[in-house]
Amino acid sequence: MSNSQYTILIVEDDENVAKYVQTCLSMGEYQSEICSNGDAAIERLSKQTFDLILLDIMLPGMDGFAVQEQIKTKGIPIIFLTAMQDVSEKVRGLKAGAEDYIVKPFEVMELLARVEVVLRRCSKSNGKLTYENIEIDTEKHTVKKNGETVAVSPKEFEVLCYFINYQDIVISRERLLVDLWDINYMGETRTVDTHVQQVRRKLELKDRLLTVPKYGYKLVRG
């Protein structure tokens, strides 16, 4: 199932932030629509269903929590966008049934990673990823190239899936460290390089998985 089949509703009152979120989503190949306030969002949702809602909390008039209260029967997963870093607000949002919570400001990959996690958790995906002649079964953790199984370590498997999910996007070493190794520091990135090189070698991706000098890597769209 490719990302373009997902439609995401953005509820954000600031025009530029909404535009930015939409740009992010389009980089992840998602379809999206923008509503600038709660009433418009509820109106929009009564006509069409979405796979995910990115909901700002501080909206003019009805706030994000109120909007969520009104639409929670629809069962659409919600990720809150907010400027607050207050833990109590976070707890309130998650208690009310939000799937996740993104604090502004946020980077493109941060948003895409959260969106992907939520969508994968909430939709019944078949657990299959494909890239050119590579087939991946995310449930069985197997990788096949031209029908032949390629042995990869669990971390290499994660790295490969990550690049396939974000094709054509330049991904920094730090981002990989944060998302795959759960390490949140700027420092030793050699581990990342080693794993990427292994993936590149084992799956013969020399011309596809490119090194972006001084920044990171990019998998050319298949």
Partner 1 sequence: MKIWQKIFLPSVVFTMIGVFAISMWLVVRSHTLQLEAKKESVQSRSSEVVAALRQTVEDQKHGYFLSSSLIEETITELCSEMSSEYVEVSAFRIDQAMYSGENTCFTFSKEDGMLHFQTIIFLSGAVYQVIISENIQPLLAQFGEDIKTVQIYGTLVSMVISIALLILAIAITKPIKDMEKATERIAEGDYKYRIMYRGKDELSELAHHMNDMAFHIEADTAFMENISESRRMFIANMTHELKTPLTSILGFADVLRIKPDISDEERRNYADIIFAEANRLRMLSSRLMELVTINEVELQMVPVNVADLLAQTAKSYQPICEEAKVSLTLELEPAIIQADETLFATLVVNLIDNARKASETGKEIQVCCKKRHNHVLIQVKDQGSGIPKEQICHVTEAFYMVDKSRTRKAGGAGIGLALCKAIATAHQGGLFIESEYTKGTTITVSVPLSKEG
Q: Which stretch binds partner 1 (CB under 8 A): 77-85, 93-101, 139-147, 148-156?
A: 77-85
56, β-bridge pairs: 81
Q: Which two tokens stand for residue 204?
A: 């013969």
> Per residue in 151-167, is it b (16+ CB within 10 Å) or e — as a string?
ebeebbbbbbbbbbbbb
Site for partner 1 (CB under 8 A): how many residues? 30
**83 is an interface residue for partner 1 by CB under 8 A:** yes
For residue 107, CA distances in Å to 43, 63, 152, 156, 221 come to 29, 24, 30, 24, 21
CB contact at 8 A, 203 and 145: yes
CB contact at 8 A, 30 and 2: no
**181 is an interface residue for partner 1 by CB under 8 A:** no
**73 is an interface residue for partner 1 by CB under 8 A:** no
Per CB under 8 A, the list member of 169, 177, 203, 209 interacting with partner 1 is 169
**24 is an interface residue for partner 1 by CB under 8 A:** yes
**23 is an interface residue for partner 1 by CB under 8 A:** yes
Q: Which two tokens stand for residue 81?
A: 């966008």
Residue 25 vs 76, nearer CB to partner 1: 25
**66 is an interface residue for partner 1 by CB under 8 A:** no
**Shortest Cβ 170–partner 1 spacing (Å):** 4
**Shortest Cβ 45–partner 1 spacing (Å):** 21
For residue 47, CA distances in Å to 40, 44, 74, 204 come to 11, 6, 12, 47
**180 is an interface residue for partner 1 by CB under 8 A:** no
Per CB under 8 A, the list member of 16, 48, 73, 88 interacting with partner 1 is 16
Q: Which stretch binds partner 1 (CB under 8 A): 46-54, 103-111, 185-193, 195-203?
A: 103-111
51 CB neighbour count, 10 Å cutoff:
18
Q: Which two tokens stand for residue 62?
A: 């009805």
Q: Which stretch binds partner 1 (CB under 8 A): 65-73, 127-135, 170-178, 188-196?
A: 170-178
105 CB neighbour count, 10 Å cutoff:
9
CA 209 to CA 222: how far, in whole Å?
Answer: 11
Q: Which stretch binds partner 1 (CB under 8 A): 3-11, 41-49, 165-173, 180-188?
A: 165-173
Query: Cα angle at 114 between 108 and 120, to 5 degrees?
Result: 130
Interface residues with partner 1 (CB under 8 A)? 13-17, 19-21, 23-24, 27, 36, 58, 60, 83-85, 104-109, 168-172, 215, 218
